[in-house]
């Protein structure tokens, strides 16, 4: 289902991306704080994806209510990693949804952290639900694991009905000039200079592609983890990428360009820290042996 971006979106209200999928996020120009929680509504059932931090709850909840859904119709909260920017509002959501069968869905390894926010919801791990959630209508959300991108339990969510892929921190970026819908210029698409140290400034003082790449260099754990995640994504028949931070990517050419950049990105996470440092076997621990008086074997 193609997404047609509104020409003048009102960020004070929820924005329907397609077929019952709403952006219910926020952007604070003064602080630069920005996040993209999403609400999927199907009939009289709702699911929130990466609901946001504690401080973001009032802004997010107002937009959820503006969609017209009753909070008690929300049956599940999906958390694609355990970052407090996603999970911090769980106690408030549980209180206002107020249903005994509310489910929190995430990877089992994430539950170890998320459980400290929750008081009443039932926890379901991806493996226990066959990596999918179904609405009463049969509409399906599929969950695809992307380990160590950036946490061991990270995953992404695909809405088969709309073709929207919710990618959490993958494809995210902290944008200097933010808008919900990414629109790369012709010059940006033709640019061959993606210097990791120097962003292009020919358009408006910032380069969204460079900002996305820098985000991944700092947030993702390694080049291998990022490439595995991109390979996983390549097999999903999505048409729109909806990340947790930054902009929704919906133009086919923009999707291809950014996927190519991320698939070949160098200096990610620990690979940036270590560079070309050589390793001695499994790691040189001779200084530890010497400190405790034991000779090398």
pLDDT in the model for residue 67: 97
Cα separation, 241 vs 255, whole angstroms: 8
Angle between helical axes of 90-97 and 57-66 (0-180°, round to 10): 30
Cα separation, 225 vs 83, whole angstroms: 18
**End-to-end CA separation in angstroms for the chain:** 63
- Mean pLDDT per 10-residue segment, the chain (297 residues): 75 95 86 86 97 92 97 97 91 95 96 93 95 97 96 96 97 90 77 58 70 93 96 95 96 93 92 74 71 69
Cα separation, 100 vs 107, whole angstroms: 21
pLDDT in the model for residue 197: 59
Structural domains in the chain, sorted by start = 15-274 (3.60.15.10)
| Token pair for 268 | 């990610």
Q: What is the DSSP string of 223-247?
A: HHHHHHHHHHHHTS--SEEEESSS-
pLDDT in the model for residue 85: 87
User: pTM of the full predicted structure?
Assistant: 0.91
pLDDT in the model for residue 34: 85
R_g of the chain, CA atoms, integer Å: 21
């Amino acid at each position: 289902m193609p997404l047609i971006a509104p020409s003048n979106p009102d960020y004070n209200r929820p924005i329907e991306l397609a077929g019952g999928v709403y952006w219910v996020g926020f952007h604070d120009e003064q602080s630069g704080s920005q996040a993209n929680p999403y609400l999927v509504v199907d009939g009289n059932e709702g699911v929130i994806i990466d609901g946001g931090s504690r401080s973001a709850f009032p802004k997010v909840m107002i937009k959820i209510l503006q969609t017209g859904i009753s909070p008690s119709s929300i049956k599940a909260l999906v958390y694609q990693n355990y970052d407090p920017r996603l999970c911090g509002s769980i106690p408030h959501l549980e209180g206002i949804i107020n249903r005994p069968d509310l489910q929190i869905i995430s990877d089992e390894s994430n539950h170890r952290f998320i459980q400290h926010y929750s008081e009443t919801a039932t926890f379901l791990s991806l493996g226990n639900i066959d990596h999918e959630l179904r609405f009463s209508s049969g509409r399906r959300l599929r969950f695809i694991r992307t380990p160590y991108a950036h946490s061991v339990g990270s995953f992404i969510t695909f809405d088969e009905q709309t073709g929207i892929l919710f990618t959490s921190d993958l494809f995210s970026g902290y944008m200097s000039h933010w808008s919900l819908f990414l629109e790369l210029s012709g010059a940006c698409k033709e640019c061959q200079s993606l210097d990791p140290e120097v962003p292009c400034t020919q358009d408006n003082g910032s380069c969204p592609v460079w900002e996305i790449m820098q985000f991944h260099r700092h947030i993702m754990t390694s080049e291998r983890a990022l490439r595995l995640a991109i390979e996983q994504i390549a097999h999903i028949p999505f048409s729109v990428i909806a990340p947790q931070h930054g902009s929704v990517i919906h133009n086919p050419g923009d999707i291809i360009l950014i996927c190519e950049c991320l698939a070949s990105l160098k200096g990610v996470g620990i690979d940036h820290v270590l560079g070309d440092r050589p390793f001695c076997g499994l790691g040189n621990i001779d200084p530890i042996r010497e400190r405790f008086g034991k000779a090398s074997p």
